[in-house]
């Protein structure tokens, strides 16, 4: 058949292993998944209450414009309703952006390692991919600026970055945005926005008004704990949103997911509690790394990328045997490292106790 030639040799996204598969494979009863940066506390109890008494008629199509959710998010952020576009997760928005702007002959600039979907989608569209290595674990914005040329259509800034968890400061970002040519779309992927507390990170919404080529992505999948409902959104200039919207599938969020996202958004107390607990959990990992002299990246997210001083695939396997699913750095262009989602206090404690055992077994330390 007449496939797009760029599909030759491409593989589907390799997600963290599903819990059921690991249970079967290793005959384990209890498995903790710390691989995909989901919220270990789940979602707001108000969402649970709603789901238990839900009467939604799923026989009818959802509102393709997501009007009620749109009103709620616009009000929450203090932006116009027309500045928003909803996606089936921000993954969907990344695909929409790529499909709208990338094709053979144009290029796109991103950091490496960064979120894999930018390059994956760009590859499908046949665009050239310019990956700029992180510098000290952070986006090297000056080098990314240098990589932009007259054929660049999109530049991706994952802030905080997945998998390193690091941020670029508002000062660095502001300088970068000023210098990027106005015909290049700057995507600020802020999937972990709710977790950030560093003072050098500032709210970016104002950039959308000042620079029409800035588009922000946020999601209900991480801090809001709604990964399975698939709701992400873009905040952008009206004209950018209007250009992207025809590329969107007409009913890309379900009725239920739209309802649930509204309820979750209202419960900011839950987000506050989760992010506070996450801070404490992060400290457990940082203390472990410092105790054992393992390099780690300062994380502003609910995950941490740190050194294991041995083959990351081995650590990944050994931890899986012990009931923990994590991500090997080998799968994230970070060999010798592992990326672990910050779990509950007990999960972290148990994880680090077992990791210590594994690293001793591997001769990393005595």
Per CB under 6 A, 219 contacts ligand PLP: yes
Which listed residue (154, 158, 308, 352) binds ligand PLP by CB under 6 A?
A: 158
- Classify each residue of 102-121 as buried b or exposed e, where b means 16 or more C-beta atoms within 10 Å of its C-beta: beeebbbbbbbbbbbbbbbb
CB of 221 to ligand PLP, least distance (A): 3
Helices 90-101 and 116-125 pack at an angle, to 10 degrees, of: 40
Q: How far is the CB of 31 from ligand PLP (least distance, A)?
A: 20
DSSP code for 15: P
The DSSP element (H or E) to which 195 belongs, if any, is none
Q: Does 232 bind ligand PLP (CB under 6 A)?
A: yes
Which of residues 191 and 320 has its CB atom nearest to ligand PLP in the complex? Answer: 191
Pick between residue 32 and residue 191 the one whose CB is nearest to ligand PLP.
191
Q: With binding defined as CB under 6 A, does residue 227 bind ligand PLP? A: yes
Residue number with CB closer to ligand PLP (189 or 307): 189
Residue 164 binds ligand PLP (CB under 6 A)? no
Query: Smaller CB distance to ligand PLP: residue 76 or 360?
Result: 76
Sole residue written with tokens 């009103």: 71
* Three-class DSSP category at 358: helix
In total, the chain counts a number of residues equal to 366
Q: Which of 108, 152, 221, 348 binds ligand PLP (CB under 6 A)?
A: 221
Contact 297, 340 (CB under 8 A): no
> Binding string, 180-199, against ligand PLP, x = CB under 6 A?
---------x-x--------
Contact segment (CB under 6 A) with ligand PLP among 83-91, 104-112, 177-185, 249-257 equals 83-91
| Residue 97 beta carbon to ligand PLP: minimum distance, rounded to whole angstroms | 12
Q: Which is nearer to ligand PLP, 230 or 322 (CB)?
A: 230
Stretch that binds ligand PLP, among 12-20, 22-30, 46-54, 219-227 (CB under 6 A): 219-227
- Give which of 141, 235, 209 is closest to 179, Cα–Cα: 141
Shortest Cβ 163–ligand PLP spacing (Å): 8
For ligand PLP, the nearest residue by Cβ is: 89
CA–CA distance, 57 with 201 (Å, rounded to integer): 42
CB of 90 vs ligand PLP, minimal distance in Å: 4
Nearer CB in complex with ligand PLP: 257/348: 257
Query: Closer to ligand PLP at the Cβ: 248 or 322?
Result: 248
Question: Which among 25-33, 89-97, 202-210, 330-338 is the span making contact with ligand PLP, rule CB under 6 A?
Answer: 89-97
Does 302 sit near ligand PLP (CB under 6 A)?
no
CB count within 10 Å of CB 242 equals 12
Q: How far apart are CA 134 and CA 166, in angstroms?
A: 10
β-pairing, 185-189 vs 232-235, is unpaired
CA-CA distance, 171 to 261, in Å (whole number)? 32
Q: Residue 151's CB: how many other CB atoms inside 10 A? A: 12
Strand order through the sheet with 185-189: 84-87, 232-235, 214-219, 185-189, 152-158, 107-112, 128-133
Rg of the chain (C-alpha set): 21
Q: Is 44 in the site for ligand PLP (CB under 6 A)?
A: no
Q: At what angle do helices 312-321 and 345-361 cross, to 10 degrees?
A: 120
**Which residue do the tokens 């993954």 mark?**
91
Name which of residues 99 to 138 contact ligand PLP (CB under 6 A): 115
Using CB under 6 A as the binding rule, whether residue 274 contacts ligand PLP is answered as no
Residues forming the site for ligand PLP (CB under 6 A): 89-91, 115, 158, 162, 189, 191, 219, 221, 227, 232
């Amino acid at each position: 058949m007449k496939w797009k030639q760029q599909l030759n040799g491409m593989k589907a996204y390799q997600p963290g292993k599903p819990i059921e598969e690991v249970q079967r494979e290793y005959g384990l009863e209890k498995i903790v998944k710390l691989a995909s940066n989901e919220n270990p506390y789940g979602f707001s109890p108000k969402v649970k209450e709603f789901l238990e008494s839900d009467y939604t008629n799923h026989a009818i199509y959802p509102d393709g414009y997501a009007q009620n959710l749109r009103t709620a998010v616009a009000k929450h952020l203090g932006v116009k309703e027309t500045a928003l576009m909803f996606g089936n997760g921000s993954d969907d928005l990344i695909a929409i952006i790529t499909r709208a702007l990338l094709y053979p002959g144009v290029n796109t600039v991103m950091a490496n390692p960064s979120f894999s979907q930018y390059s994956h989608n760009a590859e499908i569209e046949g665009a050239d991919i310019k990956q700029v290595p992180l510098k000290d674990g952070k986006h090297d914005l000056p080098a990314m600026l240098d990589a932009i040329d007259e054929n660049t259509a999109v530049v991706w800034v994952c802030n905080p970055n997945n998998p390193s968890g690091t941020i670029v400061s508002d000062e660095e970002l502001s300088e970068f945005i000023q210098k990027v040519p106005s015909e290049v779309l700057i995507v600020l992927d802020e999937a972990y926005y709710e977790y950030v507390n560093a003072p050098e990170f500032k709210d970016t919404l104002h950039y959308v008004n000042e620079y029409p080529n800035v588009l922000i992505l946020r999601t209900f999948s991480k801090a809001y704990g709604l990964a399975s409902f698939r709701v992400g959104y873009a905040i952008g200039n009206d004209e950018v949103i209007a250009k992207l919207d025809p590329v969107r599938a007409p009913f890309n969020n379900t009725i239920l997911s739209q309802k649930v996202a509204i309820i979750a958004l209202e419960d900011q107390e839950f987000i506050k509690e989760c992010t506070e607990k996450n801070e404490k959990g992060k400290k457990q990992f940082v203390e472990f790394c410092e105790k054992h002299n393992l390099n780690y990246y300062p994380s502003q997210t609910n995950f941490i990328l740190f050194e294991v001083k041995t083959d990351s695939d081995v650590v990944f396997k050994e931890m899986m045997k012990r009931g923990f699913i994590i991500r090997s750095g080998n799968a994230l262009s970070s060999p010798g490292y592992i990326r672990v989602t910050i779990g509950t206090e007990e999960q972290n404690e148990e994880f680090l106790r077992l990791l210590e055992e594994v690293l001793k077994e591997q001769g990393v330390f005595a």
